[in-house]
Amino acid sequence: MDNVSRDLTAPAGANPLTQLSLDQLRRRTSMKWRAYPQDVLPLWVAEMDVPLAAPVAGAITDAVALGDTGYPAGTGYAEALAEFAQKRWGWHGLAVERTAIVPDVMLGIVEMLKLVSVPGDPVIVNCPVYPPFYQFAGNVDRPVVEAPLGPDMRIDFTVLEDVFRRAAGGASRPVYLLCSPHNPTGTVHTAAELTRVAHLAREHGVRVVVDEIHAPIVAAGTSFVPFLSVPGAENGLSLMSASKAWNLAGLKAALAVAGPEAAGDLARIPEEVSHGPSHLGIIAHTAALRDGGDWLDALLRGLDDNRRLLASLLSEHVPSVGYTPAQGTFLAWLDCRALTPGDDPADVFLRRGRVALSSGRPFGTGGEGYVRLNLAASPDVITEAVRRMASAVS
């Protein structure tokens, strides 16, 4: 394998974000590393610059050695997620019999929308929010209705209730597509907030579908609360995956999880949906949830360090960029509105600084003038990225 180590797994306890060189990363063929020329530092799409967790790599290579590359079967993935939820979140309510495997979280969301709504029913989102929410809902003829976040980047319940009321008055089955933790802001919703969401949704006849793909990734001192664990959420549907926390986007697999009152809805999911996940993906995700806890803990410590580093670097080199370290995800939502009025700051940073960030515009109302930066990189790369960003606007 030339200069690339044959064992690209992080040593036990080591920060996974510091294990790979830029030369090694640039040999990757995934989207993050092939969308731009090699002189661009890619800190945009949500891939992490990490080696695989050793238990995950071992599970995959063992399966390949056995030729175990057939169709997925069994409930091991759901059982592993239930165990993880008990250990990490104190949630004992994830019932394996109320789960279904789906190809990935976004395709799972589409299937949930099909189960609980009909074409023309609105999908309510808290913008700025993950752009595929708009794209995927639109592709199945569910118009998106925005309920913007408040200035503190948390749910604005006055706005949300008003949108619920109007949506319920004009549609048969509106859906609230909740992002938890929130992408791009990194907000981690509290138990009180989620309980209020559940009660408002019931009051107005709105079904809740939750994207919880970033659930394992929270900052020190922050607790993730599964939506289905709060009172009133019994008719909710959640999509979960090990994809983001262990960098497994290319190993397709996710789980749809139903609350007790939504079990009948999930039971109607078409059989062909279960043929979408990769068997190797399910093997990898199961190993991550069962045996990848130490690796995850090292990653979380590294991300905490990177949040502090980014805040310090921006304060020193680009103080006009606003940044509040997030409670969750490995993403940073940067307020660049003071820099280049009228321009897209992501375009400025790319053209002048050779740093690829995600433009805030596709994230909907509230995204203009912002960029999203992927923190799941080495401290050296983040330092160089901020240096380039500073030079781009100097």
pLDDT above 60: residue 249: yes
Q: Is residue 61 packed enough to be buried (19+ CB in 10 Å), middle (13-18) or exposed (0-12)?
A: exposed
Average pLDDT over residues 172-177: 94
The DSSP code sequence of 23-63 is HHHTT--SHHHHSS-TTSEE--SS----PBPHHHHHHHHHH
Beta bridge partners of 54: none
76 dihedral zone (left: phi>0; alpha: psi -120 to 50; beta):
alpha
Supply the pLDDT for residue 136. Answer: 98
Domain definitions of the chain by residue range: 16-53+293-393, 65-291
Supply the pLDDT for residue 69. Answer: 96
Supply the pLDDT for residue 13. Answer: 83
Supply the pLDDT for residue 170. Answer: 72
List the alpha helices (DSSP H) in the chain: 22-25, 31-34, 54-66, 76-89, 105-116, 132-139, 157-170, 191-204, 263-267, 279-291, 293-317, 345-353, 379-393
Average pLDDT over residues 116-141: 97
Beta bridge partners of 333: 372
CB contact at 8 A, 239 and 255? yes
Q: Is residue 262 packed enough to be buried (19+ CB in 10 Å), middle (13-18) or exposed (0-12)?
A: buried
**Cα atoms found within 13 Å of the Cα of residue 186, Cβ hemisphere only:** 24
CB contact at 8 A, 163 and 147? yes
DSSP, res 239 = E
pLDDT above 70: residue 130: yes
Supply the pLDDT for residue 135. Answer: 97
- Res. 266 pLDDT band, cuts 50 70 90: very high
Supply the pLDDT for residue 124. Answer: 98
- Res. 238 pLDDT band, cuts 50 70 90: very high
Q: Is 302 helix (H, G, I), strand (E, B) or coil?
A: helix
Beta bridge partners of 101: 255
Tokens 């909907």, residue located: 364
Alpha-carbon distances of 16 from 217, 283, 301, 385, rounded to whole Å: 14, 21, 10, 19
pLDDT above 50: residue 329: yes
Euclidean distance between CA atoms 276 and 76, whole angstroms: 17
Q: Does the model's pTM come out above 0.75?
A: yes
Residues in Cβ contact with 61 at an 8 Å cutoff, skipping those fewer than 6 apart: none
The dihedral built from the CA positions of residue 306, 312, 318 and 322, taken in this order, carries a sign that is: positive
Supply the pLDDT for residue 178. Answer: 98
pLDDT above 60: residue 2: no
pLDDT above 50: residue 73: yes
Provide the mean pLDDT of the chain.
96
Architecture of the domain whose range is 65-291: 3-Layer(aba) Sandwich (3.40)
Beta bridge partners of 207: 175
Average pLDDT over residues 276-291: 98
Structure tokens at 63: 């399966």
Torsion of CA 253, 259, 263, 268, to 10 degrees: -50
pLDDT above 90: residue 210: yes
Q: Is residue 275 packed enough to be buried (19+ CB in 10 Å), middle (13-18) or exposed (0-12)?
A: exposed
Q: What are phi and psi of 10, to 5 degrees?
A: -75, 140
Euclidean distance between CA atoms 47 and 330, whole angstroms: 10
Supply the pLDDT for residue 171. Answer: 66
- Res. 354 pLDDT band, cuts 50 70 90: very high
Core vs surface per residue 298-331: b (16+ CB within 10 A) or e: bbbebbbbbbebbeebbeebbeebebbbbbbbbb
Structure tokens at 290: 């069962």
Torsion of CA 337, 338, 344, 345, to 10 degrees: -110
* CATH topology for the 16-53+293-393 domain: Aspartate Aminotransferase, domain 1 (3.90.1150)
